[in-house]
Structure 1
Amino acid sequence: MVNFNVRFPDDLHARVRAQATADRRSINSEILHLIEVGLGTVTSDAPDRPGGDPASPAPLRGGPDSSPS
């Protein structure tokens, strides 16, 4: 992973922080999401939901208990 420092104007930082809070993400995760949406990597409708269904839970991401039984 690459470390990348960016300077944000105060008002833009406040907007990103508010959106991250609303989406229950860290500011870093929100910025990555917004870049992915902007580049067309994910859709903005329901990026973390399989099939775009907002009622479906997001898939679990790898962890110590994520291996198949």
Structure 2
Amino acid sequence: MIRFSLRIPADLHERVIAQAAVDRRSLNSEILHLLEAALPTLRTDTGTPGGDPASPAPLRGKPDSSPN
């Protein structure tokens, strides 16, 4: 796991602590849960070249395809 510091406003910190208590989770587990719920799951097998839907299509033709 990666460890990093995060600055958040005191009122947001209190809200996350309260939600963690309701859900019977640690603060760390609650933050992980909220992040996982908020972020879409990345699919690597989409059937597109390169496997990433955001990656551009591969170049076609000769490496130097400038007009003659």
Fold shared, TM-score > 0.5 on shorter chain: yes
Task: Report the counterpart of residue 12 of structure 1 in structure 2.
Answer: 12
Equivalent residue letter for 2:24: R
- Per-residue deviation, 1:8: 1.1
Q: Identify, as 1 or 2, the structure richer in helix.
A: 1
TM-score by length of 1: 0.56
Task: Report the counterpart of residue 23 of structure 1 in structure 2.
Answer: 23
Structure 1 residue ranges (4+ consecutive) displaced by more than 2 angstroms after TM superposition: none
Question: Which runs of 5 or more residues in structure 2 are unaligned?
Answer: 42-68
What is the number of equivalent residue pairs in this alignment?
A: 41
- Per-residue deviation, 1:40: 3.2
**Sequence identity of aligned pairs in percent?**
63
> Larger Rg: 1 or 2?
2
Task: Report the counterpart of residue 56 of structure 1 in structure 2.
Answer: none
Question: Which runs of 5 or more residues in structure 1 are unaligned?
Answer: 42-69
Equivalent residue letter for 1:24: R
TM-score by length of 2: 0.57
How far apart are the structure 1 equivalents of 2:39 and 2:13? Answer: 20
Aligned-CA RMSD value: 0.9
Higher mean alpha-carbon deviation, 32-41 vs 13-22, is at 32-41
